[in-house]
A and B are shown apart, each in its own frame.
Chain A
Amino acid sequence: MTHPDAWLFLPPEVEALVPPLLARLAATGGGSPDEVERDLRYRIETLILEGDAEQWRTFLCEAAEIVAEYAGDDAEAQRVLASILDDQFLLARAVVDLEGTDLDARRQLARAGATPPRGSRV
């Protein structure tokens, strides 16, 4: 039986890396980077404080969709984000079973350029 808190190993990397990168996507996509980053930080922290593994999985799917649908110029940020999120799905298997929507999300991330990490600096 997995401890209900076991999924909490997942968010810290996302909390540290994803908001500024998604803000970069917003910057080249015409959105407001500051708003994107602030809202995302708030949402991730809310999940850390009040959420669970299922809610985290939902969040990952939504983030994957945003990354996959991005059509701006910052392909580098898109690829790095796709890699981070794809790693999240791979790691999440320790605490939840992936479902069809997760596999769809992974396919989207692969198309967005997700690659396995090659070194210590992803």
Chain B
Amino acid sequence: MDPSHVATDIASPTNTPESRASQKPPEATRSLPGIAYTDPVLYEQELTEVFERAWILVGHISELSEPGHYVTANVGREPVVVIRGHDGELRAMSNVCRHRASTILEGTGQTRSVMRCPYHAWTYELDGQLAAAPSGQGFACLDRDQVALPQFRVGVAGGLVFCCLDSNQMSLEDMLGPVGPYLEWLNIAGLTVHRSDQGARWTEDFDENWKILADNYLEDYHVPVAHPTLVRLVDVKETIGDNNDWSEWSRVPYRTRPSRDPREREYQSLIRRMPGMPEEFEGWMGHVCIWPATFMEIYPHHIDTWQLEPTGLLTTRATTMTMVHPDEDDQAKRARDLMRELNVDIMGQDVDITTRVQRGVQAPSYHSGILNDEQEFSVIRFQRRLRELLPRIAELEATATGERSVDPS
């Protein structure tokens, strides 16, 4: 989202009320139909065609530095584990035991020299091969050489580790586009994952379809309306960024003058970039959005990732991973804590909005809305990708409007 487009357009002498009035009104860009947020058939397609084909963030490279280090995540309906092998290789594989389907590892950590299923102790090598099963003689037919955890693709970009189930999907590098170099530039690989009382991840469950949360994150049109703190803290009109069809980064400068709010003022006084972060990032806050539902908040003092995972048609789990400098000092920690407090308010404001939207999209009178071509540009691009991948949306649009929808391109 680049608000400078607004300034350019409005200042353009060719963009006048008269010229607009004389032109045929442009075709409005419409949002997804409301029913797309409650349709169970579409939801199934989203799992198979979106989440089980995309590159999904699973962790940070610092969590996988030694053999046996692992992270777990869900990629669509598939529980996966990414683990460092004894040979130093990073592998992604199913985290589901081939015996009775228990998940094998949970959370993040370091396993011993093998992975053991907690149910019946089927034991796997770190490359996924079944090593042994208790009471092996009791199986009429068990060739352990033929049993292995299915392997998936793993990719690392800027220190972030991703997994993809689809062997035909484009490369991680292609999907990230300009975001890849941006992550490298920020030196995210040099950070470490913060472990709080809850561990290395913090999850929150929402009673909304995942797309409502994604739509909300992708646009800043609502920011001045819902988040006064952000109006005071950052100068949105100076936002810069870049994107491809799947990913985008942006950054916005902090205001340099103090807010009247004491907590915001204290936060402003603490903002200082981490060692290793580029000098050009001094005084900026950044955002990253990666298809389909990975989001990042890049502060000078720490970085949060926010991964959405559909857990049902109307339920979504958000997993937060916080990355800090390995030698985080008290000032950076205080800035992080204050931003966490401010974000609790901001998240509450977003939950209020998205809860309303979830109710509203189910209203029989609502079909779809007109999107702002500038400030909701990323929503438009996101929904265009969904329309391309999910034929069910066209069926729903036809049902909702009584005719085929306009070409989303």
Contacts and interface: CB of A to CB of B under 8 A. Distances in A.
Given A12-B231, A48-B232, A50-B260, A119 B225 contact: no
Given A48-B231, A118-B25, A16 B13 contact: no
A80 interface: yes
A122 B260 contact: no
B17 A79 contact: yes
A119 B26 contact: yes
B7 A120 contact: no
A36 B235 CA distance: 19
Contacts of A113: 17
Nearest to B229: A5
Contacts of A9: 224-225, 228, 231
Nearest to A23: B11
Contacts, number: 80
A122 B10 contact: yes
Contacts of A120: 26, 28, 370, 372-374
A3 B228 CA distance: 10
B27 to A, nearest CB: 11
Given A49-B260, A79-B17, A16 B231 contact: no
Label chain A's interface by main secondary structure: helix
A118 B21 contact: yes
B112 interface: no
B21 A20 contact: no
Contacts of A16: 3, 6-7, 236-237
Contacts of A13: 224
B215 to A, nearest CB: 17
Interface string A1-17: 00101101111110111
Nearest to A4: B228
Interface in A1-47: 3, 5-6, 8-13, 15-17, 20-21, 24, 45-46
Interface size class of B (residues with CB under 8 A): 20 to 34
**Residue from A6, A21, A50, A76 having most chain B Cβ neighbours under 10 A:** A76
A21 B10 contact: yes
B10 A17 contact: yes
A16 B255 CA distance: 14
Interface in B218-268: 223-225, 228, 231-232, 235-237, 255, 257-260
Contacts of B260: 49-50
Contacts of A45: 235, 255, 257
Contacts of B15: 121
Interface in A83-122: 83, 113, 115, 118-122
A121 B17 CA distance: 10
Interface string A57-70: 00000000000000
B232 A8 contact: yes
A17 to B, nearest CB: 5
Contacts of A6: 228
B20 interface: yes
Contacts of A83: 17
A46 to B, nearest CB: 8
Interface in B109-165: none
Given A45-B257, A118-B20, A12 B224 contact: yes
Given A12-B231, A76-B13, A120-B26, 7 more contacts: A3-B228, A21-B11, A48-B255, A49-B255, A118-B20, A118-B25, A119-B25
9 contacts: A3-B228, A12-B236, A16-B3, A17-B11, A24-B11, A119-B25, A120-B26, A120-B374, A122-B10
Interface of B: 3, 6-7, 9-11, 13, 15-17, 20-21, 25-26, 28, 223-225, 228, 231-232, 235-237, 255, 257-260, 370, 372-374
Per CB-CB distance, the 10 closest pairs between chain A and chain B, nearest first, are: A5-B228, A16-B237, A9-B225, A8-B228, A12-B224, A9-B224, A8-B231, A120-B373, A121-B9, A50-B260
